[in-house]
Structure 1
């Protein structure tokens, strides 16, 4: 049999049509990477020859991604010199057509003809099974199945035996004559063929004997159990009477009651300990508050000491600066009125911005306050101390960053005012009559400070025009006005009249916040799940809204205020024009003014702190919290010692875990009662059982069964003796048959040796009854196929199939070999031997080899056909 061409269409991964023609009569090598389609081509050849064209299980042959495809395969080949064509279409519009020469066969007739020609059998239904594959199943090796020889050979054994019978000239039935068949039929009635297990009458005899023996053993067991139950009943009754007399469960119950009393006492100690722990936590929180207040007082005293030292140093510096200031002069300036007007307009614009911000804030606070009031409506009354502290703190809350900026600005203003005053021209006067200064009447004694040009009217004497010399006074006055405007803006933003009021308010706010936090901790101890935070938020919102309303009411009328950007731009233009004429302030005046400002600031700061420190309320409160600290420490120590004593008592009470002891004793009592009840139930059951068995005639039944056992034993021994005799006769006859079969196997053994010596010189293969390789004999030992390595079994699989093909070829059977990725587990030396064997076999058979390693098969002397090239050509 020689294939000439293979045409595949819409078959699995081949969505179109693939044609492989010009197949050589010998070796044909197909190469390609994994999933290129090599195994699909081999499967197409198997399907067209072996699969039933009407089989319903072949839907996996449909082209990938095309459910409506029509898989079809067509092959052309020679059979004994006759041109043949076979085509099949699967899944949809199934058809089958076989042409041998001029004769055409269709449908089932064609498939029956193929089975007869190639040496396989058609499956009755469903997919082709391995046992039906016959010769193609042996010679057409699928990927990964090269080493599996035994099953393939077993399925083709009948075709191989026919070939051997034809070649040897013997008769296949010579070793299987009527006598062996008759002996085996008789033997199979008593023993199975494969496992030699009992069957038929022998199995029935053995089963009958086993059943009777089991029945006899059961009756004997019943008799022994009857005697044991009598003894058990006496022992149980004695134990029941003794336990009923002692009644151990009552003692366990008494111990459980005493242990429960100890457990209750321990629980009471634990509750008392929890109360002490809560009291200790409250006392420690109160002590921490008093200590915090005392620490604040100590810090204030230290600050007073530092301020006194700084004030002394500042006064010394002022005295030195006044001596240097004697020769200092001031200068005049212009454009002052424009700058003052611009600064006032800027102040009014800032006030307008502040008012808008306050209105927006009031609106937000009002909405927030309404939301909080609605939430608090259903809540219980909060702790009065926390609510009061929260309300007071919210009313006094002040922006600390702005306050710091205000303090810095006040310091700068103090210095700048001193510099400005030093730069002004001073006129001391003592008048006996009234004069005018810029139309304002002046009389008596006093001092005139001239920051610019002044006109002094002297009545009938005329007038004087005083023009100060050139100086940087205008620049200073402009800067002073700018700083005063910023100070006014900050005071408005903070809602205070002075820096001292702001700092005092901030200190009060800090004290209230500290008090609020301490009270909140105490409140958390007493009521950790309270709603005071919600009420505090409501109070804060209300206080902030009130403060914002007050600040808004204190702002001037801003209806005529210009836009802030315009006012700021005008003020900057005026200030720039004013600063163009300014000169740097004399060093002496700057030094004196700076010193005086520093002295004044330090004196005011020291005065405030001393007043706070010496205040009657502060001293009274300090004496109170100092006294509280002593009392609270004593109280904390007392509560802590009391708690430690309770902890020791509780630890001693829990040393033996009285609750667990009570539970153990109660469980012991229940167990004792339960065991006694179980004894009573067992006694009643045993009495009833003994009465029943005593009346059943146990002895008579046991004697009858023993007689049946003896009879069944004799029957089983007779059948066993017959089976042994038949087995011996079968072995003798089989040995005679094997001698005849050995002569029959000679052609196959010769072909196996022809190929085997290429890899395993001086070796031989022993065949089994199914003509499959059983053992490999070499170097004085025989290895079964399962004991060989995977690669060795793969190599034997290739060589034995070549031998089978030679045998079938010699007997006139068509042969075609297909090897899909064979010899992949073979080393280089043995692969060369395999190649030489294939080249030798290719002189007698057509061989299709599929491989994904073309570089390992490039020395066969045949053209390699790449699957990808075949696809492109299609």
Structure 2
């Protein structure tokens, strides 16, 4: 199959029509940057051949920004020397037509014919899926999908097998495959395909055997337990009888009683210890109280001595404070006098400043009064000029509407007069004498205009009757008379002699109005708020000047006043000094008061403490405290000795902890009784279990289960033997079939080698059952296709597709190769090998190559067709 022409209209980014003709039967190279439209052209070819024209999912084919478009693709091609044409329109007004020679197919019939010719299957509904693409899906490589070969070759495997069968002359999968399928069906009833695990009858037999074996094992365990229980019963009975004979719990109870007696003696010693401890604490407390009382008396004597010294120091401080207070009072008196003098000087300086300010104000109000008087005079003059201009403007004012009407009438009258004069008969004359024209006499030189019939007397020669030749002159004269009357009326209404006078008067009026505005502006400058406001301001300025003069006269004589800053600074210094002196006075007064209060307080305390020490009762109590201290110390020492003896006796009695021993012996007795009771219960339970198991027919049931297990084992062995035989038969048959398939694949293997040696000399590709490449054998090692690098898989994808195309063409299938950016991840050396392979394949197939790297493909010997140029064309 050879494409000759492609026409694309309103398809994705092609809003208009794009036509590609003169397609070569071999290699065709299309170039352009990303998003130029290369992939859109390839997609258009895929859509016209593969997509259902009525599919509802193809709205994405609409041109960008044109929702009402009608995407369509039209291709002309040659098939086995026959001219063909295919056209489809999608989304709206869908249609499909296929012409093959003189035969015409349309709609679904055309699409079924295409599927049969190109080797693919139509999707029943929805979008075209990869499994339907067949041969075109294998040979038409979309952008970024060159390395993905396994799925596309698998979907085209049916067509590839048909081609191989036709080329090899053999039969693919005849009776051998049917027999293998039958054997595998039987085998799959016993073993799974992938994991070879048991299934069906074999799995059921294994499950039955496992269930019976488990039941047999359980009965055997029960039989063993029955025998064990008999032995346990004898042992438990012997132990029970031996314990009843020895009765160990009674011996433990006797030992517990003896230990309890020793524990009671220890408790008595502990109570004696507690009594001695309480007595010792009481004696120590009494001794501590007496010692504390004596210590208080000693501290009182020491305090009297200290406070006597403190009182002397306090009285000396009071004397010093009184002296400092007297000095502070003297300083305050001096600073108060200095502050009063500074304050009077400051008041005189302020009066001097006020006097200066008042003089300035008086000068200012005097100047302001003169300015206001001048402004009032100028304003009155300007106001008079405004009034005069207003009167002049009122006298000259002309109604603007009437003026415009007069000017219009004047213009119309001038035109009509000219027309009338032109229509009149003109008689130019130059006379030596006189002639009579109607009732008038003319002489000399002039022009006679004849607007109606006139008689010119020639004296003795007779007369001439002149009749104007214009027929409508009378009408024009009537119109002229009416217009002149209206013109005269307009002049009279305005009180002017002519339109020029009216215009001159109007211009004079505008000049007077402008003068009025200028005088009004001058008035606004001098008196923006009116002349009365200026007069009021003048009166206010005079009143303020009088008030300032009166205040100035009331001030004292300030001729000796110091500068204000110096006076203010001296006043502040005097005030600060006075405040500091007053603070010192307050501090010395406080220190004096505090010293006197402290001295008086110390004297009172000292007197009270001396009185307490001299009191007779206090002296008698102190003598009693000192005697008690001696007696209580003797008593405390005796109690400490008694407590030491009791502690040693108690430590000796506590060596074996008799209370713990009594508790241990009682627990041992309880445990011995508990064990004996437990033995009695276990004996009763074992006897009950043995009676139950003996009555259940355990031996008979075990024998029956062993027979069933033997039967199930034979059934399982038979099915396992059948599965092994079927597996062996399946392996033999598959090996035989694979040998036949290897012979069948020879043409494809030969074409693969033809292209593969260009990049990988001394290598081969192993094919899978679906005829897709599975492994690459090179340099003595076998590599899985998925383990190869992305670029290598991309290169193998191109070469393998060329081999598929050769195989399909040899079997009579139409081939067309489309590669959209197919060798992006290929280095320069391998790209050259790819190019040589493409040039070789182009001698047998038509190949469309789309690339965004034209500089890498400029050595193919074919012209490059830029998509941008195709758009412009």
TM-score, length of structure 2 as denominator length: 0.50
Give runs of aligned pairs for residues 651-670 of structure 1, distance below 5 A: none
Give runs of aligned pairs for residues 215-226 of structure 1, distance below 5 A: none
Paired with 2:219 and 2:546, the residues of 1 have a C-alpha distance of 126
Over 3 Å counting, the alpha-carbon distance change for 1:789 and 1:598 in structure 2 is: closer
- Counterpart for residue 752 of structure 1: 752
What is the aligned counterpart of 2:579 among 577, 586, 605?
A: 605
C-alpha displacement of 1:17? 3.5
Give runs of aligned pairs for residues 156-555 of structure 1, distance below 5 A: 156-173=156-173, 176=176, 179-180=179-180, 182-193=182-193, 196-210=196-210, 212=212, 414-417=344-347, 477-478=355-356
- Counterpart for residue 740 of structure 1: 740
Mapped contact 2:349–2:561 kept (Cα < 8 A): no
Paired with 2:42 and 2:197, the residues of 1 have a C-alpha distance of 44
1:84 is paired with a residue whose SS is strand
C-alpha displacement of 1:66? 4.6
Paired with 2:821 and 2:546, the residues of 1 have a C-alpha distance of 95
Radius of gyration: which is bigger? Answer: 2
More deviation, 7-16/812-821 = 7-16
- Counterpart for residue 24 of structure 2: 24
Over 3 Å counting, the alpha-carbon distance change for 1:131 and 1:209 in structure 2 is: farther
- Counterpart for residue 290 of structure 2: none
Paired with 2:359 and 2:40, the residues of 1 have a C-alpha distance of 100
1:710-757 residue CA offsets vs partner (Å, 9 max, x unmatched): 333322322222232233233333333333332222221121111111
Give runs of aligned pairs for residues 718-867 of structure 1, distance below 5 A: 718-867=718-867
Mapped contact 2:358–2:548 kept (Cα < 8 A): no
C-alpha displacement of 1:620? 9.0
Paired with 2:83 and 2:766, the residues of 1 have a C-alpha distance of 39
Give runs of aligned pairs for residues 118-157 of structure 1, distance below 5 A: 118-157=118-157
Q: RMSD of aligned C-alpha atoms?
A: 5.5
Paired with 1:25 and 1:743, the residues of 2 have a C-alpha distance of 33
- Counterpart for residue 676 of structure 1: none
Paired with 1:810 and 1:55, the residues of 2 have a C-alpha distance of 34
Over 3 Å counting, the alpha-carbon distance change for 1:738 and 1:857 in structure 2 is: same
1:771-805 residue CA offsets vs partner (Å, 9 max, x unmatched): 22121111111111122111111111111111111
Paired with 2:15 and 2:152, the residues of 1 have a C-alpha distance of 32
C-alpha displacement of 1:821? 1.9
Mapped contact 2:42–2:820 kept (Cα < 8 A): yes
2:147 is paired with a residue whose SS is coil
- Counterpart for residue 110 of structure 2: 110
- Counterpart for residue 7 of structure 2: 7
Mapped contact 2:10–2:62 kept (Cα < 8 A): yes
Mapped contact 2:10–2:16 kept (Cα < 8 A): yes
C-alpha displacement of 1:41? 2.6
Paired with 1:845 and 1:692, the residues of 2 have a C-alpha distance of 95
Count of aligned positions: 523
C-alpha displacement of 1:36? 3.4
C-alpha displacement of 1:807? 1.0
1:517-562 residue CA offsets vs partner (Å, 9 max, x unmatched): xxxxxxxxxxxxxxxxxxxxxxxxxxxxxxxxxxxxxxxxxxxxx9
Over 3 Å counting, the alpha-carbon distance change for 1:779 and 1:607 in structure 2 is: closer
1:460-518 residue CA offsets vs partner (Å, 9 max, x unmatched): xxxxxxxxxxxxx9667436999xxxxxxxxxxxxxxxxxxxxxxxxxxxxxxxxxxxx
C-alpha displacement of 1:51? 2.3
- Counterpart for residue 506 of structure 1: none
Over 3 Å counting, the alpha-carbon distance change for 1:733 and 1:45 in structure 2 is: same
Mapped contact 1:311–1:599 kept (Cα < 8 A): no
C-alpha displacement of 1:809? 1.1
Paired with 2:34 and 2:824, the residues of 1 have a C-alpha distance of 13
Over 3 Å counting, the alpha-carbon distance change for 1:854 and 1:718 in structure 2 is: same
Mapped contact 1:314–1:598 kept (Cα < 8 A): no
Mapped contact 1:411–1:598 kept (Cα < 8 A): no
1:165 is paired with a residue whose SS is helix
Give runs of aligned pairs for residues 30-41 of structure 1, distance below 5 A: 30-41=30-41
Paired with 2:811 and 2:224, the residues of 1 have a C-alpha distance of 74
Mapped contact 2:353–2:564 kept (Cα < 8 A): no
- Counterpart for residue 426 of structure 2: none
Mapped contact 2:756–2:763 kept (Cα < 8 A): yes
Mapped contact 1:307–1:606 kept (Cα < 8 A): no
Paired with 1:181 and 1:763, the residues of 2 have a C-alpha distance of 34
Mapped contact 2:335–2:581 kept (Cα < 8 A): no
TM-score, length of structure 1 as denominator length: 0.50
Mapped contact 1:175–1:737 kept (Cα < 8 A): no
Mapped contact 1:189–1:199 kept (Cα < 8 A): yes
Paired with 2:211 and 2:44, the residues of 1 have a C-alpha distance of 58
Unaligned segments of structure 1, at least 5 residues: 236-301, 319-406, 421-472, 483-561, 628-682
Over 3 Å counting, the alpha-carbon distance change for 1:418 and 1:834 in structure 2 is: same
Paired with 1:218 and 1:34, the residues of 2 have a C-alpha distance of 77
Over 3 Å counting, the alpha-carbon distance change for 1:588 and 1:815 in structure 2 is: closer
Mapped contact 1:418–1:596 kept (Cα < 8 A): no
Mapped contact 1:307–1:602 kept (Cα < 8 A): no
Paired with 1:852 and 1:224, the residues of 2 have a C-alpha distance of 85
C-alpha displacement of 1:157? 1.7
Paired with 1:226 and 1:412, the residues of 2 have a C-alpha distance of 132
1:176 is paired with a residue whose SS is helix
Mapped contact 2:329–2:585 kept (Cα < 8 A): no
More deviation, 753-762/204-213 = 204-213
Paired with 2:89 and 2:230, the residues of 1 have a C-alpha distance of 84
1:37-82 residue CA offsets vs partner (Å, 9 max, x unmatched): 3333322222222222333443443444555444333222111111
C-alpha displacement of 1:765? 1.3
